[in-house]
């Protein structure tokens, strides 16, 4: 607009009535405010996500460190702790009824808010999730801790987002909080970002929350790593003494003196078979967990009686089988899996004792006890037990498939978790973040096939996005 155009517009504006001028000024201000709000939305949400990540990273590190200390006490004195699992379960139900009503649904409540079905997560969910998870793990319930960590992150982030003027701010920060909780407890920020983005709506990636979720996840993982809290890691390259996994899949061959890259169909078929088996195990876990929750709720509607009755049974079984071998997270099985795998560079034949310290029935008992623990009302999550189930099943099946023990255990670690949660990118990324990027091709192949073979099951109540062709 040149000066003459501006002058004519000013003259026309002066001819309007005072009421018309006031209305036009209000419209102009609203338009400017709208544009400014939209421009500030993304940087503000990223900044808030960094803040959320810092707080939740510290909180989950503290939560995890206390849990580790409690687990050490239980493992030292199992006969004096595990028998009181039923009493702890009754205390958990009573605590939710007395002080944490409406927070006992855990991640189901977070998903309900994320999907727009509800609009409230009380702040008391943070201490309730932590305390009840500590009780479950201390007294030997076979449960994880990522559910409590993500619930804490989502609760904190969602409650600070309520008054923000930005579109979808609550939804985006809820996802950022979930990513921060997952990253803080596992110190795997890429997997945490992917998990938070894809877990709410299966088949849909929440790209609007990508940068805030990544900012929260990387911040939380960094803060958690700085504090005195350690998570499980393993260097798979050091455990496998043969050629790299990439060379095993895309092997090399010599033709007329020239080196050429080929495709090892036999090795790919072995990985595909593992993917099918891991998908069935993970999907079966999710399906049986849902069926068990409904079954136990119908048979024993009173939640205190239900958790106390089955808590007694769980205590007895935990003590009978090696005095707590299958209690808690399952990190003891992970340590055994990769400690024993380190002594074997090639696959061992399946037997009663498939590797030093790992039995062929370990995955079955951990599978069953985790389902019962979660189905009757104990708190925590399922990720780490799923890691243990996948790793021990991988060792069990490695000899039959002809895959090196460490690789089979690592692939089971990631793929069973992905199949049970109905996620794809999170298990691939957590596999490479924990075991190294050299095995990315193997994780990709196995996790994709496991995801396709899990029957669409999930331990979470998610919404499925279906694509229509034609």
For residue 469, tell me if it sits in a domain: no
Residues 141 and 205 in one domain: yes
Domain carrying residue 369: 236-464
For residue 26, tell me if it sits in a domain: no
For residue 5, tell me if it sits in a domain: no
Residue 318 CA to residue 320 CA, distance in Å, equals: 6
pLDDT number for residue 215:
97
Residues 222 and 240 in one domain: no
Phi, psi of 254 (to 5 degrees): -110, 125
Residues 270 and 184 in one domain: no
CA 252, 255, 258, 260 dihedral sign is negative
Residues 58 and 89 in one domain: yes
Q: Which residues neighbour 102 within 8 Å (Cβ) at sequence distance 6 or greater?
A: 109, 120, 122
Residues 152 and 259 in one domain: no
pLDDT number for residue 209:
86
pLDDT number for residue 254:
40
For residue 22, tell me if it sits in a domain: no
Spatial contact of 376 and 236, defined as CB atoms under 8 Å apart = no
Length of the chain: 470
CATH for 332: 1.10.3080.10
Q: Last residue of some domain: 226, 250, 278?
A: 226
Residues 195 and 271 in one domain: no
Residues 334 and 447 in one domain: yes
pLDDT number for residue 304:
94
Phi, psi of 122 (to 5 degrees): -60, 145
For residue 11, tell me if it sits in a domain: no
> How many Cβ atoms are within 10 Å of 17's Cβ, its own excluded?
8
Residues 190 and 84 in one domain: yes
Residues 255 and 199 in one domain: no
For residue 366, tell me if it sits in a domain: yes
Residues 321 and 429 in one domain: yes
Q: Which residues neighbour 284 within 8 Å (Cβ) at sequence distance 6 or greater?
A: 457
Burial class (CB in 10 A: 0-12, 13-18, 19+), 79: exposed
pLDDT number for residue 408:
94
Residues 242 and 218 in one domain: no
Taking the model in full, what pTM does it have?
0.87
pLDDT number for residue 470:
39
Q: What is the pLDDT along the chain (470 residues), one digit of tens a residue?
A: 455 554 555 555 556 566 665 666 667 666 655 665 566 778 899 999 999 999 999 999 999 999 999 999 999 999 999 999 999 999 999 999 888 777 888 888 888 888 888 888 999 999 999 999 999 999 999 999 999 999 999 999 999 988 787 878 888 999 999 999 999 999 999 999 999 998 876 556 667 789 999 999 999 999 999 998 988 888 777 776 555 666 666 665 444 444 445 567 888 899 999 999 999 999 999 999 999 999 999 999 999 999 999 999 999 999 999 999 999 999 999 999 988 544 444 443 333 345 558 999 999 999 999 999 999 999 988 999 999 999 999 999 998 998 888 899 999 999 999 999 999 999 999 999 999 888 898 999 999 999 999 999 999 876 555 444 33
- One-character DSSP codes across 203-216: T---GGGHHHHHHH
pLDDT number for residue 234:
81
For residue 177, tell me if it sits in a domain: yes
User: In angstroms, how far is CA 365 from the centroid of its own chain?
Assistant: 22
Provide the number of structural domains found in the chain: 2
pLDDT number for residue 312:
97
Q: Last residue of some domain: 226, 253, 274?
A: 226
pLDDT number for residue 223:
96
pLDDT number for residue 461:
75
pLDDT number for residue 438:
82
Residues 210 and 292 in one domain: no
Residue 184 CA to residue 169 CA, distance in Å, equals: 22
Strand-pairing partners, residue 353, are 359
For residue 12, tell me if it sits in a domain: no
Q: Last residue of some domain: 194, 226, 258?
A: 226
């Amino acid at each position: 607009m040149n000066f003459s155009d501006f002058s004519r517009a000013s003259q026309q504006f002066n001819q309007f009535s005072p009421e018309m001028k006031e209305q036009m000024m209000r419209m102009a201000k609203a338009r400017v405010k709208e544009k400014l709000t939209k421009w500030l939305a993304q940087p503000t949400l990223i900044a808030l996500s960094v803040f959320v990540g810092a707080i939740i990273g510290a909180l989950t590190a503290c939560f995890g460190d206390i849990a580790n200390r409690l687990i050490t006490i239980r493992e030292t004195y199992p006969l004096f702790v595990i028998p009181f699992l039923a009493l702890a379960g009754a205390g958990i139900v009573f605590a939710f009824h007395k002080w944490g009503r409406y927070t006992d649904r855990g991640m189901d409540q977070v998903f309900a808010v994320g999907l727009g079905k509800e609009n409230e997560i009380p702040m008391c969910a943070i201490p309730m999730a932590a305390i009840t998870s500590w009780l479950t793990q201390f007294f030997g319930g076979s449960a994880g801790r990522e559910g409590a960590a993500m619930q804490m992150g989502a609760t904190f982030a969602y409650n600070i987002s309520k008054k923000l003027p930005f579109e979808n701010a609550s939804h985006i920060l809820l996802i950022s909080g979930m990513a921060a909780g997952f990253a803080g407890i596992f110190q795997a920020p890429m997997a945490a970002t992917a998990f938070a983005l894809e877990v709410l709506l299966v088949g849909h990636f929440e790209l609007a929350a990508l940068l805030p979720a990544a900012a929260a996840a990387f911040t939380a993982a960094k803060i958690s790593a700085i504090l005195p809290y350690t998570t499980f890691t393993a260097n798979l390259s050091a455990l496998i003494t043969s050629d790299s996994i990439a060379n095993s899949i895309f092997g090399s061959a010599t033709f007329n003196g020239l080196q050429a890259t080929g495709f090892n169909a036999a090795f790919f078929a072995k990985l595909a078979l593992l993917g099918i088996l891991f998908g069935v195990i993970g999907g079966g876990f999710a399906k049986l967990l849902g069926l068990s929750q409904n079954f136990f709720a119908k048979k024993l509607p009173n939640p205190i009686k239900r958790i106390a009755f089955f808590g007694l049974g769980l205590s007895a079984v935990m003590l009978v089988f090696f005095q707590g071998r299958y209690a808690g997270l399952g990190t003891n099985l992970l340590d055994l899996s990769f400690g024993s795998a380190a002594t074997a560079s090639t696959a061992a034949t399946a037997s009663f004792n498939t590797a030093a310290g790992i039995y062929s029935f370990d995955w079955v008992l951990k599978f069953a006890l985790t389902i019962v623990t979660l189905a009757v009302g104990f708190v925590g999550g399922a990720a780490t037990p799923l890691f243990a189930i996948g790793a021990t099943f991988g060792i069990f099946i490695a000899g039959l498939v002809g895959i090196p023990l460490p690789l089979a255990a690592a692939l089971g670690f990631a793929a069973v978790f992905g199949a049970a949660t109905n996620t794809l990118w999170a298990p691939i990324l957590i596999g490479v973040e924990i075991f190294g990027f050299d095995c990315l091709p193997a994780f990709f192949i196995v996790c994709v096939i496991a995801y396709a073979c899990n029957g669409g099951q999930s331990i979470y109540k998610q919404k499925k996005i279906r694509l229509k062709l034609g």
